[in-house]
Amino acid sequence: MKAGIVVFPGINRERDMAIALEQSSGEKPRMIWHKETDLSGLDLVVIPGGFSFGDYLRCGAMAARSPVMAAIHAHATRGGYILGVCNGFQILTEAGLLPGALLRNAALRFLSMDCQLTVERADTVFTKRYQKGQTFRSVMAHGDGNFFADDATLDRLEGEGLVAFRYAGENLNGSARAIAGVYSPNLRVLGLMPHPEDLVDPLMGGTDGKPLFDALAAA
Amino acid sequence: MERDVNQALAREFGLNAEEYNRVLEIMGRTPSFTELGVFSVMWSEHCSYKSSRVWLKQLPTKAPWVIHGPGENAGVVAIGDGLAAIFKMESHNHPSFIEPYQGAATGVGGILRDVFTMGARPIANLNALRFGSPDNARTRRIVDGVVRGIGGYGNCVGVPTVGGEINFHPAYDGNPLVNAMTVGIAPTDRIFLSAAAGIGNPVVYVGSKTGRDGIHGATMASAEFDANSEEKRPTVQVGDPFTEKLLIEACLELMATDAIVAIQDMGAAGLTSSSVEMAGKGGVGIELNLDNVPARETGMTAYEFMLSESQERMLMVLKPEREAVARAIFEKWDLDFSIIGYITDTGRITVRHQGEIKADIPLAPLNDQAPLYTRPTVETPKQEQLNAARIEDRLGLTAGLRKLLACPDLCSRAWVWDQYDSTVGGQTVKRPGAADAAVVKLEGLKRALALTTDCTPRYCLADPEMGGMQAVAEAWRNLTAVGARPLAITDNMNFGNPEKPEIMGQFAAAIRGMAAACEALDFPVVSGNVSLYNETEGKGILPTPAIGGLGVLEDAAQAVGYGLPSWLDIVVIGKTQGWLGQSLWLREINGREDGAPPPVDLAVERANGDFVRSRILSGEIRACHDVSDGGLLVAVAEMAMASGVGARLSAHPRDVPGHAYWFGEDQGRYVVAVPDAASFIRTSEAAGVPAVRIGVSGGGDLTLPDGGTISIETLRADHAGFFPAWMNGDNRS
Amino acid sequence: MKATVTVMLKTGVLDPQGKAIAHALGTLGFDNVNDVRAGKVIELDLNETDPAKARAEAEDMARKLLANGVIESFRVEVA
């Protein structure tokens, strides 16, 4: 599918994301500056990690209200695919495209380390190259990855199968019900905190993140 | 606001009587308040290197691969594929003591700017940190702030922090060291320098607005601390990593055009040093109009504008017809862009503010007649070589190893690394804790850089010359241990008060040792920084010449780490004599900090290292770890902990006492894992390199030659305990 | 005129900063602390002389950007 990466000022994992997308699809993604408003021709819009607008005020708050977001809302309404990773996930929750919010890590420290993720369902466009219940390795690098939603929302997310990934083993950032990623109701918008794009090459320590990009490339 | 200029004020500004008289001579009149400020910062130790320059000249700075050595914003070496690595290490010691978070954060920001100002995209950060005793109540707050500051800045700008080192010693109680290193990459034909040129060309200010931050930071960095230092807090700068990130992207975007004639970051002494250096290097004059400097505060004086150390600012000389292109790029990134002056042919710096000339100084004498001192030196007396057989081993190997692995200087640094984003960029091949040097691949290429920082301050105190030599040799060794070809170093010379002959003697001797090692190992110095007056109430730090080393691997896939694989032979390369003087074992187990430190034989160092590298690149060596702090047994334990694979060690030779063999810190050694020790040792002997099989890997336990057995789990628990327990402890302590 | 927007985490949302401050105060010997909540204060200098309008505008800003309704509540004071 045709992919584009949205670049807000302060985003810093757009190059990692471009490498991962291109490696699986053979096609360079379009880089979209946050002041652009035309996303036509794109099947997948990716919001990568970083510190958009310095993450001042709240992580993702300012980005969620910048010009390109109207186009991203429209893309979502059209049924387009959206992937938000780390700051991208925070931005999607701030923009109301995904439920919940990301609070400061429970231990109040930035966490940069490997983690294990459990795949909650393997029938979405993002996860069909994984197995349901499978765990895979990913890299987390965030200060605010502590997923929060009220109990009713959490029950609904679980009831409707909208939890994408959970942390297996220790739930280091304190996320509610160990949730690492969630879907929109139509399963076309995915947000997650860890970085599958940083494990797509054996040289960097593994390829556990690659199936996600392979699946997107084939869709 | 502006006070009368006289000798007393000059002294307050850090200029002695002789220096002030020289100012009067150059100016031919009493300088204005602003002019005195300019002289005082340009002639501060920090900017002028007045005590250290005579010694620094002894360092080798040339090699066929060196493109720019010391004198530019950072060193530049060719690394192949038409690319250059641009790197430097710089201290932010004093600010980090006063306000640990901002001090460390702005240290990272400053060194990043030194590198991207030359046209490089920063690809890695490292940091060499020294803190006071963990028992000192202040140390924990400083460690916490420094680590958060480094992470807060580096993580946000999106440059991975991939390596570094941490030591603790009471000598740093009132004066921690924060030495930050940045490495960047640029095409060899797109390197940007700072020499201004082109009469009439516009001088452009970009980045953040100017406030009253850090005024006289450069002179603060050149003064000893006393009990009142806390009152100096207002001069600490505040970092804004978000603006820095924008500045990186905007500068690199502009550098892809042909608009820039010269560019320089505004670091210590801000607008003063950047404008004086740019014009001075270019042999031209410069005229600034401060009315056009973007200001964050109202009512700022010329003096404040010239001396402000507000962060995230750059000064550029542009081609006049390219001004609009440049402005558009900076406006796209929402950064201030203002023409604040022009290049002139006067050879002077002329500063206008609100219709008045506030400073008018001839540049040549300001630069050329800066003070230069050959201060008196006294050699550190040599310590005697300790006889290992006469030093009792009270604990034995098992308990000794466990105690060493748990001590603050050797324990796991995971608590620290885990707060630094080491993977952003997607090119980190060896993260912290995986190999002796960090390995970062170049995007889209097979080639990779190996990076390390090293210094063993306790050796430097005991024997500054040997310590200086050892620091360079260890950096070279750590790069070699991943399979990289070492190319060059940056040095960060942290010492006490240079006006004391014994301190200046330490400095001179350390330089001598470093120079010898650089020469013998083809490992020139291409950039560096000197930080003197690291004293509190007359008590100096350990002499700490921190070395940042850079090497290159043609193929990132050839890099090895130190995680021990299963079922391989374990071989130590290099001679083990059992040198206990200044060893960590002697300090941690016997409470002694004496004896001569282990000598470095540079010819042996080179032969051993060249052999190891060749066997890594041939694929024979599957894991490699240099033997340093804690000695052989600690090295093997670290390899085992890294992979979770145990080892069974053989008996040591009879002519060396066991504790000396396993804990001695003889130099020039590596532990390697190879499939067949016998054939490996035949090759090494043919190359004249001593190698001894010391065991075999496998299982989940480390079995010591005296029969003691420890599970890797236990070792890991010992190793991991200190930092979390200490940092989560009672805040009142 | 000036409007001050105070943003606090909603009751029920875990406030680790507040918890950490409470712990630190306890170790410093301040034993009278039952609970601590940490929030932020945003001062707005507005081009507006009518207090009611200033308040309405600040509240609109808080709803649209300054606070995240999922986790935060806010309060506006005008002076």
Give the number of other CB atoms < 10 A from CB of residue A111.
20
**C-alpha dist (Å) from residue A152 to A71, A149, A184, B22:** 30, 8, 16, 77
Cβ proximity of B699 and B632 under 8 Å: no
Q: What is the pLDDT of residue B1?
A: 57
Which residues of chain C make contact with A150, given a CB cutoff of 8 A?
12
> What's phi and psi for B519, nearest 5 deg?
-65, -50
Closest-CA residue of B relative to A139 is B423
B728 touches chain C (CB under 8 A): no
C17 touches chain A (CB under 8 A): yes
B249 min Cα distance to partner chain A (Å)? 9
B340 min Cα distance to partner chain C (Å)? 30
Average pLDDT, chain B: 94
Give the number of other CB atoms < 10 A from CB of residue B677.
21
Q: How confident is the model over B607-630, as a mean pLDDT?
A: 98
CA angle A48, B438, B456 (to 5 degrees): 135
Q: What is the pLDDT of residue B21?
A: 96
Q: Look at C64 and A107 and tell me if their CB atoms are within 8 Å.
A: no
B731 touches chain C (CB under 8 A): yes
Size of interface A-C (CB pairs under 8 A): 38
A16 vs B156, B157, B424: nearest CB: B424
DSSP output for chain A: --EEEEE-TTB--HHHHHHHHHHHHSSPPEEEETT----TT-SEEEE--B-GGGG-SSTTTTGGGSTHHHHHHHHHHTT-EEEEETHHHHHHHHTTSSSSEEEPPTTSS-EEEEEEEEES-S-STTTTTS-TT-EEEEEEEES--EEE--HHHHHHHHHTT-EEEEEES--TT--GGGEEEEE-TTS-EEEESSBGGGSSBGGGTB-TTHHHHHHHHH-
Q: What is the pLDDT of residue B216?
A: 63
A55 min Cα distance to partner chain B (Å)? 8
The closest alpha carbon to B624, from B557, B562, B695, B697, belongs to B562
Q: What is the pLDDT of residue C26?
A: 85
For the four alpha carbons of C17, C20, C22 and C28, in that order, the dihedral sign comes to negative
pLDDT digits (tens, 9 = 90+) for B131-182: 999 999 899 999 999 999 999 999 999 999 999 999 999 999 999 999 999 9
pLDDT digits (tens, 9 = 90+) for B14-70: 999 999 999 999 999 999 999 999 999 999 988 899 999 999 999 999 999 999 999
Q: What is the pLDDT of residue B233?
A: 40
Confidence class for position B557, pLDDT limits 50, 70, 90: very high
3-state secondary structure of B630: coil
- CA dist., res. B627 & res. B470, Å (int): 12
Q: How confident is the model over B1-12, as a mean pLDDT?
A: 86
A190 min Cα distance to partner chain C (Å)? 19
Q: Look at B731 and C27 and tell me if their CB atoms are within 8 Å.
A: yes
The closest alpha carbon to A80, from A171, A11, A4, A147, belongs to A4
- CA dist., res. B587 & res. B657, Å (int): 18
Which residues of chain C make contact with A106, given a CB cutoff of 8 A?
14, 16
B101 touches chain A (CB under 8 A): no
Strands B348-353 and B285-289, sheet pairing: parallel
The closest alpha carbon to B264, from B244, B249, B279, belongs to B279
The single-letter code of the amino acid at B248 is I
A61 min Cα distance to partner chain C (Å)? 7
Confidence class for position C18, pLDDT limits 50, 70, 90: confident
Q: What is the pLDDT of residue C20?
A: 79
**C-alpha dist (Å) from residue B574 to B595, B598, B692:** 22, 13, 8
- CA dist., res. A53 & res. A94, Å (int): 14
pLDDT digits (tens, 9 = 90+) for A112-159: 999 999 999 999 999 999 999 999 999 999 999 999 999 999 999 999
- B464's enclosing H/E stretch is helix B464-480
Confidence class for position C19, pLDDT limits 50, 70, 90: confident
- CA dist., res. B360 & res. B348, Å (int): 7
The closest alpha carbon to B166, from B178, B155, B175, belongs to B178
Cβ proximity of B349 and B38 under 8 Å: yes
Strands A44-47 and A81-85, sheet pairing: parallel
A143 min Cα distance to partner chain B (Å)? 9
Q: Look at A106 and C65 and tell me if their CB atoms are within 8 Å.
A: no
Q: Look at B246 and A9 and tell me if their CB atoms are within 8 Å.
A: yes
- CA dist., res. B525 & res. B255, Å (int): 27
B637, HSE (Cβ side, Cα atoms, 13 Å)? 34
Chain centre to alpha carbon of residue B319: 35
The closest alpha carbon to B113, from B138, B92, B139, belongs to B92
Q: Look at C16 and A61 and tell me if their CB atoms are within 8 Å.
A: no
Strands B202-207 and B313-318, sheet pairing: antiparallel
Closest-CA residue of C relative to A153 is C70
The single-letter code of the amino acid at C25 is L
- C5's enclosing H/E stretch is strand C2-9
C20 vs A100, A108, A150: nearest CB: A108
Active-site residues of A: which are they?
Answer: 86, 195, 197
Size of interface A-B (CB pairs under 8 A): 90
pLDDT digits (tens, 9 = 90+) for B315-370: 999 999 999 999 999 999 999 999 999 999 999 999 999 999 999 999 999 999 99
Residues paired with residue B66 on neighbouring β-strands, in sequence order:
B77
Active-site residues of B: which are they?
Answer: 46, 92
Which residues of chain B make contact with C29, given a CB cutoff of 8 A?
732
Q: How many domains does chain C have?
A: 1
Strands B569-573 and B691-697, sheet pairing: antiparallel
Helical H segments across B591-630, by residue range = 602-617
3-state secondary structure of B157: helix
Range of the domain at C60: 2-78
Structure tokens at A198: 């940083």
- CA dist., res. B93 & res. B471, Å (int): 20
B618, HSE (Cβ side, Cα atoms, 13 Å)? 12
B732 touches chain C (CB under 8 A): yes
- CA dist., res. A44 & res. A124, Å (int): 14
- C24's enclosing H/E stretch is helix C16-27
C13 touches chain A (CB under 8 A): yes
Q: Look at C28 and B732 and tell me if their CB atoms are within 8 Å.
A: yes
Q: What is the pLDDT of residue B673?
A: 98
Cβ proximity of B176 and B129 under 8 Å: yes
> What's phi and psi for B692, nearest 5 deg?
-135, 135
A198 touches chain B (CB under 8 A): yes
Q: Look at C16 and A174 and tell me if their CB atoms are within 8 Å.
A: yes
Q: What is the pLDDT of residue A85?
A: 98
The single-letter code of the amino acid at B528 is G
CA angle B92, B98, B104 (to 5 degrees): 35
Confidence class for position B220, pLDDT limits 50, 70, 90: low
B window 135-154, beta carbon within 8 A of A: 148, 151-152
- Mutating which of C10, C70, C72 best tests the A interface, going by the most A Cβ atoms within 10 A? C70
Strand order of the sheet with strand B448-454?
B428-430, B438-441, B448-454, B544-553, B485-494, B525-531
Please state, for a pLDDT cut of 90, what percent of chain B lies above it.
Answer: 89
C71 vs A57, A65, A103: nearest CB: A103
Region label for B193, one of left (φ > 0), alpha (ψ between -120 and 50) or beta (otherwise): beta
**Full pLDDT tens readout for chain A, 219 residues:** 899 999 999 999 999 999 999 999 999 999 999 999 999 999 999 999 999 999 998 999 999 988 899 999 999 999 999 999 999 999 999 999 999 999 999 999 999 999 999 999 999 999 999 999 999 999 999 999 999 999 999 999 999 999 999 999 999 999 999 999 999 999 999 999 999 999 999 999 999 999 999 999 998
pLDDT digits (tens, 9 = 90+) for B86-127: 999 999 999 899 889 999 999 999 999 999 999 999 999 999
pLDDT above 70: residue B218: no
Q: Look at B155 and A143 and tell me if their CB atoms are within 8 Å.
A: yes
What's the ipTM?
0.96
Strand order of the sheet with strand B83-91?
B66-68, B75-80, B83-91, B177-187, B121-131, B161-168
Q: What is the pLDDT of residue C17?
A: 82
Q: Look at C17 and A65 and tell me if their CB atoms are within 8 Å.
A: no
C16 vs A65, A100, A108: nearest CB: A108
Closest-CA residue of B relative to A113 is B418
- CA dist., res. B381 & res. B383, Å (int): 6
For the four alpha carbons of B479, B480, B484 and B485, in that order, the dihedral sign comes to positive
- CA dist., res. B337 & res. B486, Å (int): 40
Closest-CA residue of A relative to C17 is A108
Which residues of chain C make contact with A62, given a CB cutoff of 8 A?
65
Which residues of chain A make contact with B429, given a CB cutoff of 8 A?
203-205
Q: Look at C29 and B732 and tell me if their CB atoms are within 8 Å.
A: yes
Closest-CA residue of A relative to B560 is A203
> What's phi and psi for B139, nearest 5 deg?
-60, -40
- CA dist., res. B563 & res. C75, Å (int): 55
Pick the residue with more confidence: B35 or B218? B35
For the four alpha carbons of B337, B342, B343 and B349, in that order, the dihedral sign comes to negative
CATH number at residue C11: 3.30.1280.10
Confidence class for position B511, pLDDT limits 50, 70, 90: very high
Chain centre to alpha carbon of residue B9: 34
Q: What is the pLDDT of residue B635?
A: 98
Confidence class for position B672, pLDDT limits 50, 70, 90: very high
Q: Look at A101 and C65 and tell me if their CB atoms are within 8 Å.
A: no
- CA dist., res. B424 & res. A50, Å (int): 9
Confidence class for position B226, pLDDT limits 50, 70, 90: low
Q: Which residues contact B130 (CB under 8 A, 6 or more apart)?
A: B166, B167, B168, B169, B172, B176, B177, B457, B494, B541, B542, B544
Give the number of other CB atoms < 10 A from CB of residue B256.
11
**What's the whole-model pTM score?**
0.94
Cβ proximity of C54 and C79 under 8 Å: no
Instruction: Give the single-character DSSP code of B646.
Output: -
The closest alpha carbon to B564, from B475, B642, B481, belongs to B642
